DNA sequence: TAAAAAGTTGAATTATATGGAAACATTTTG
DNA sequence: CAAAATGTTTCCATATAATTCAACTTTTTA
């Protein structure tokens, strides 16, 4: 598990994508693009939570929600609100960065 | 307007934050952290849309929503869903990157 | 291997994001 | 300045994200 985690951390998202849903350009890839993001977001939360040595219940307490909610955030393929993401990572003392890239320009929204 | 846009693009978010809501550590800053993010997200959308020379109505057509919806996304202080963000920037042919940073480690969710 | 701890799931509820329509306001342009 | 274009706001409906509770499953540990 530890090994698996470490490996994941070292993989770029593109590598994950290639592994999990096929090369760029295939219809499958486009279709699951968003689900993948959500999946990864869940994985991220779980990863960081583990890193902090917290149980879902403890993380829940930090935020003020039940453990079941954390579980859902970690494994759901559903859509999520920015507010929720920020709330969770703030509790985990992790920084969320957000950037929009267009051509050569890149604006960062941290 | 052109000048204003260019200037904004050149500013980092931290600069924007400092200018708009005060230095790090002040309660005001923490309090408006999320609102600010949303505000900036709106500004991003507007910026990129302008860059593409689209009206709100045109962008709306690309996505399949009314111009009023675009207006709301651009100027709302409200919360937004990941799906919505992706949808908008995809229409704008811009790339959204998402990353979570914790200590020295950084995982990218692109 | 049994008990405890941690995580998952489903059903139900509440809160709120998405969205349309239309009236209004602001900006642009001829 | 008047008309046209663009953007904003409000009211409203609908969809769905956030959340709880409790039962259930899986994992850990003594």
How confident is the model over B35-57, as a mean pLDDT?
86
Structure tokens at A42: 């869940």
Candidates B94, B92, B83, B95; CA nearest to B62 is B92
Contact residues, chain A, for B51 at CB < 8 Å: 102
* pLDDT, tens digit, 9 for 90 and up, residues A35-61: 656 778 899 999 999 989 999 999 999
Structure tokens at B93: 């042919």
How confident is the model over A51-78, as a mean pLDDT?
94
Output the distance from A81 CA to D21 C1' rounded to whole Å: 23
| Closest nucleotide to B67: CA versus each C1' | D7
| Closest nucleotide to A70: CA versus each C1' | C7
CA angle B69, A98, B93 (to 5 degrees): 55
* pLDDT, tens digit, 9 for 90 and up, residues A4-40: 333 333 334 444 445 444 555 444 444 445 565 677 8
Structure tokens at A65: 């929600």
Q: Flag whether the pTM goes above 0.85.
A: no
pLDDT of residue B57: 97
In this complex, do A85 and B82 lie within 8 Å of one another by their Cβ atoms?
A: yes
pLDDT-derived band at B88, boundaries 50, 70, 90: very high
Shortest distance, CA B6 to any CA of chain A (angstroms): 11
Taking CA–CA distances from B104, the nearest residue in chain A reads A94
pLDDT of residue B34: 55
> CA-to-CA distance for B108 and B110, rounded, in angstroms?
6
CA angle A79, A82, A85 (to 5 degrees): 85
């Amino acid at each position: 598990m530890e090994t698996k985690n470490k490996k994941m951390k070292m993989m770029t998202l593109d590598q994950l994508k290639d592994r999990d849903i096929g090369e760029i350009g295939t219809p499958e890839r486009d279709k699951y693009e968003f689900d993948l993001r959500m999946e990864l977001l869940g994985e991220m939360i779980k990863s960081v939570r583990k890193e902090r040595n917290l149980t879902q219940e403890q993380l829940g307490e930090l935020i003020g929600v039940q453990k079941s909610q954390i579980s859902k955030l970690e494994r759901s393929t559903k859509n999520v609100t920015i507010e929720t993401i920020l709330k969770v990572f703030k509790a985990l003392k992790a920084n969320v960065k957000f950037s929009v890239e267009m051509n050569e320009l890149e604006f960062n929204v941290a």
